[in-house]
Chains A and B, each alone.
Chain A
Amino acid sequence: MVMDIRAQLSMSFNLDKCIGCHTCSISCKNIWTTRQGAEYMWWNNVETKPGAGYPLTWEDQERYRGGWEVADGNLRLKLIKGNKLRTLASIFFQPNLPTIDDYYEPFTYDYQNLFNAPAGDDQPVARPKSLITGDFMEKIALGPNWDDDFGGSPLYGSNDPNLKGLSESQKEMLTKFHKLFYFYVPRICNHCLNPACVAACPSGAIYKRGEDGIVLIDQDTCRAWRFCVSACPYKKPYYNWATGKSEKCIFCYPRTETGQPNACAHACVGRIRTVGVLMYDAERIQEIAKLPDEKLVDGMRDIVLDPNDPAVVEAAKKAGIDENWIAAAQNSPAYNFFKKWRISFPHHPEFRTLPMNTYIPPLSPILHQVKADRGGLFDPEADDFFNEIDKMRIPVKFLANLLSAGNEKVVMESLKKQMAVRIYWRQKRVGDIGEKAVKTALSSSGLTPQDCEDIYRINSLATYKERFVIPETHRESKSTVDPRTMYEKRGTIGFGTKKKELIGRQW
């Protein structure tokens, strides 16, 4: 078997624990995107589901044409139908490019008016002001997280593309109060194995780093052709309208290279994020990306290799992967969630970019659905209490549309496992369920008692070092980065270093 083993940093998100506080977004924003032209960018953002998202309805690829499709047995970019000449033909005007209005017009307020307004009969106000034109805005029509917490409402939630394929009774959640639900989906760049942004870049400015799989845009090579923005189905490359360069989440590589977690993950107050190493076989990327929708999740689990398999370790060493990376892969929470326990999923695998961040679907609202169907109170004595997953408040179909390309079976498996962990711990702590129920739950979900202990620990008690198993990068051995430029750039963020032109604007 020919193997081309590579390492990949991967973040896992436990959606059950996300409280939608946006601390991740703020820490990311404060470090990377508080610059002119980047005000509207949220490399990390948190969306309410159901909801339209940011940019509006980004998941609707009939509109944006992001990602890949399979045609005649070959992968091709949906955007340009695989023909690169067509790319170049639309280089002067891209029909599918989102504009600033699909995100929002960045604004500030005229705070000085509060201090400087002349004496008058009315209180002075701070009117909103556009950060692009500097003009006053009539009103703010859109902002980051405009539909925050309005998920499940017919006004906002009904625009969610993931509602496709749900029955009318399931869609009642948008209108019936006792069926309402929402949850949050925090999003960063997925640092895909088969990135559409890289494949669409005519300048060759975007690349995947071989050592850690981080996808970056070479700022000196980007020529503002904007194809990455159109081609990425997650809309995670952003166009900086001031500098004329595209920018994206860099997985905080200056932090991860020294073993520190990403700013978003470090700041997360709910501790929903874990970061670890996955090892994968790059030879199989194409083959896996072409699988039919229902096989995509299993295919992606297949391409991720078992780091404890001696043959894999041997091959990884031969491929030049450092010892500390192999050791990290063996302790990787990302691997455990995604492949060992099979409870986390890639976001929209049907876009076929093989995204490398995974999400554990939320479980909590199930109980309330049971309660509602009983006509009121929740009855802990009921013996079917833990087994009514298919009656849960969030339709499994909705989660499957979001996380498994519509494959409800794998999502059910994850939910059952999460429920089995709860049954196991309830019996251990409270002891009112009975050993028999625990045995049934474990055998039907395929977990061992040790798995239940481990899943519980990583999701609730895990320390900083257990949640973030990030090996340091060996920059000291070889590096193509000139240390002198590193010195020059110390204290800057590496973006927007455009020098002043002879006449005119300064960015």
Chain B
Amino acid sequence: MNIDNLLFGLMPYLFIVTAVVGTIYRYVANRYSWSSQSSQFLENKSLFYGSFPWHYGIILILLGHIIGIITPGSILSWNSVPLRLYILEISGLALGILAFIGLLVLVYRRLTDSRVKAVTSSWDVLLLIVLLIQVATGIANATMYRWGSNWYAASAVPWIWSILTLNPRVDYIATLPLITKAHIFNALIFIGLIPFTRLVHFLAFIGPIKYLFRPWQVVRWYNRDTQTENIVQYK
């Protein structure tokens, strides 16, 4: 069996199933552990320089990737004008570097602050290594192999769709450079890690979005019938 078939044909399912089943299991069985595990309370001086660039950089990059998956055509047509391609590539690279710098600050903070070290689990360390590899290979891709946004939409996205439609076509990405393959496989590890680490906190984004539309105050009545009726909100 070809190593590519193993890594990019079989393993994706292993990681995705782990992520889905594991996340649901954790939500049902151990919801108490569902937390961002913020350490700002213990150290809030260097956190600003790490957390802000990291989160804003990586969220926008991730959104870019997701838009690419959903509508690869939109990326390709945007890139059809060279100026627009340059804008997309440069802003993507800038955001990647921003996230990388933030991540380095966060890693440094975890290694040096004794209080933060005290709340760092082995999972956190593993997660930081995976994230470092992910962002580093991403930046390497963007700088070493030009116009990644174009060939991402043309090669990786069809592969992702082939995985999602249960018809894995490893040939889409078989010829990609080693560093790109590392980026893709590391992303799969990242997905597999979701249920085991504090990464679950990014799945909690629904709450904050609901917050935008809810009234200020929340009142619950313990003697009213169902869960939905139970939560009554007033202005």
Choose one: A84, A88, A499, A503; the contact of B121 (CB below 8 Å): A503
In the complex, which residues 76-96 of chain A have their Cβ closer than 8 Å to any Cβ of chain B?
84-85, 87-88, 91-94
Q: How many B residues have CB within 8 A of the partner chain?
A: 58
Check if B219 sits within 8 Å of A504, measured CB to CB.
Answer: no
Question: Given A99-B42, A202-B207: A504 and B223 within 8 A (CB)?
Answer: no
User: Which residue from chain B places its CB closest to the CB of A283 in the assembled complex?
Assistant: B234
Question: Given A132-B118, A481-B222, A498-B30: A88 and B211 within 8 A (CB)?
Answer: yes
Check: A208 CB closer than 8 A to any chain B CB.
yes
CB of A108 to closest CB in B, whole Å? 14
Q: Which chain A positions have C-beta within 8 A of B230?
A: 480
Check: B117 CB closer than 8 A to any chain A CB.
yes
Check if A133 sits within 8 Å of B211, measured CB to CB.
Answer: no
Check if A503 sits within 8 Å of B123, measured CB to CB.
Answer: yes
Question: Given A203-B204, A503-B121: A198 and B218 within 8 A (CB)?
Answer: yes
Interface segment, A110-118, A178-186, A241-249?
A: A241-249
Q: Which chain B positions have C-beta within 8 A of A502?
A: 196
Q: Which chain B positions have C-beta within 8 A of A100?
A: 41-42, 115
CB of B61 to closest CB in A, whole Å? 15
Question: Given A202-B207, A211-B221, A286-B235: A85 and B40 within 8 A (CB)?
Answer: no
Check: A63 CB closer than 8 A to any chain B CB.
no
Check if A220 sits within 8 Å of B40, measured CB to CB.
Answer: no
A194 to B118, CA, bound (A): 37
Most chain-B CB neighbours within 10 Å: which of A85, A211, A477?
A211
A207 to B47, CA, bound (A): 30
Q: Which chain A positions have C-beta within 8 A of B84?
A: none
Check if A85 sits within 8 Å of B38, measured CB to CB.
Answer: no
A203 to B36, CA, bound (A): 12
Q: Which chain A positions have C-beta within 8 A of B115?
A: 100, 132-133
Q: Which chain A positions have C-beta within 8 A of B36?
A: 223-225, 244
CB of A37 to closest CB in B, whole Å? 9
Q: Which chain A positions have C-beta within 8 A of B54?
A: 92
CB of B230 to closest CB in A, whole Å? 6
Q: Which chain A positions have C-beta within 8 A of B234?
A: 4, 282, 285
In the complex, which residues 43-66 of chain B have their Cβ closer than 8 Å to any Cβ of chain A?
43-44, 47-48, 51-52, 54-56
A282 to B217, CA, bound (A): 11
Check if A198 sits within 8 Å of B35, measured CB to CB.
Answer: no
Check: A501 CB closer than 8 A to any chain B CB.
yes
Give the size category of A's interface with B.
35 or more
Check if A223 sits within 8 Å of B221, measured CB to CB.
Answer: no
Check if B231 sits within 8 Å of A207, measured CB to CB.
Answer: yes
Choose one: A75, A87, A223, A474; the contact of B204 (CB below 8 Å): A223
Choose one: B35, B52, B114, B211; the contact of A222 (CB below 8 Å): B35
A27 to B55, CA, bound (A): 42
Check: B146 CB closer than 8 A to any chain A CB.
no
Main secondary structure of the interface of A (DSSP, over half): loop
Check if B117 sits within 8 Å of A133, measured CB to CB.
Answer: yes
Question: Given A199-B216, A223-B201: A88 and B208 within 8 A (CB)?
Answer: yes
A91 to B209, CA, bound (A): 12
A84 to B223, CA, bound (A): 31
Q: Which chain B positions have C-beta within 8 A of A194?
A: 217
In the complex, which residues 16-51 of chain A have their Cβ closer than 8 Å to any Cβ of chain B?
none
User: Which residue from chain B places its CB closest to the CB of A505 in the assembled complex?
Assistant: B121
A111 to B34, CA, bound (A): 36
Check: A62 CB closer than 8 A to any chain B CB.
no
How does the 8 Å CB contact mask read for A159-180 relative to B, with 1 for contact and 0 for none? 0000000000000000000000
Check: B111 CB closer than 8 A to any chain A CB.
no
Q: Which chain A positions have C-beta within 8 A of B41?
A: 97-100, 226, 229, 239, 241
A505 to B33, CA, bound (A): 12
In the complex, which residues 182-235 of chain B have their Cβ closer than 8 Å to any Cβ of chain A?
196, 198, 201, 204, 207-208, 210-212, 214, 216-225, 227, 230-232, 234-235
Q: Which chain A positions have C-beta within 8 A of B218?
A: 198, 201, 204, 206-208
Q: Which chain A positions have C-beta within 8 A of B212?
A: 84-85, 88
CB of B218 to closest CB in A, whole Å? 4
Check: A355 CB closer than 8 A to any chain B CB.
no
Check if A499 sits within 8 Å of B231, measured CB to CB.
Answer: no
A308 to B54, CA, bound (A): 59
Q: Which chain A positions have C-beta within 8 A of B196?
A: 501-502
Check: B129 CB closer than 8 A to any chain A CB.
no
Check: A459 CB closer than 8 A to any chain B CB.
no
Check if B48 sits within 8 Å of A223, measured CB to CB.
Answer: no
Question: Given A93-B52, A204-B218: A223 and B33 within 8 A (CB)?
Answer: no
Q: Which chain B positions have C-beta within 8 A of A223?
A: 34-36, 201, 204, 207
Q: Which chain A positions have C-beta within 8 A of B227?
A: 480
Check if B37 sits within 8 Å of A244, measured CB to CB.
Answer: yes
In the complex, which residues 99-143 of chain A have their Cβ closer than 8 Å to any Cβ of chain B?
99-100, 132-135
Check if A226 sits within 8 Å of B222, measured CB to CB.
Answer: no
Q: Which chain A positions have C-beta within 8 A of B114?
A: 133, 135
CB of B21 to closest CB in A, whole Å? 14
Check: A219 CB closer than 8 A to any chain B CB.
yes
Question: Given A207-B231, A220-B32: A133 and B208 within 8 A (CB)?
Answer: no
A40 to B51, CA, bound (A): 25
A505 to B122, CA, bound (A): 8
**Which 5 residue pairs of A and B lie closest in terms of their CB atoms, listed nearest first?**
A504-B121, A244-B35, A210-B221, A199-B216, A202-B208
13 extra interface residue pairs, beta carbon distance < 8 Å, beyond A133-B114, A239-B38: A100-B41, A194-B217, A195-B217, A198-B217, A204-B211, A208-B218, A223-B207, A285-B234, A478-B224, A479-B223, A480-B223, A481-B222, A497-B32
Query: B interface vs A, CB < 8 Å?
Result: 29-44, 47-48, 51-52, 54-56, 114-115, 117-119, 121-124, 196, 198, 201, 204, 207-208, 210-212, 214, 216-225, 227, 230-232, 234-235
A-B contact pairs, 15 of them (CB 8 A): A91-B208, A93-B52, A98-B41, A99-B41, A202-B207, A206-B218, A207-B231, A209-B222, A210-B219, A210-B232, A220-B32, A474-B223, A475-B222, A479-B223, A499-B30
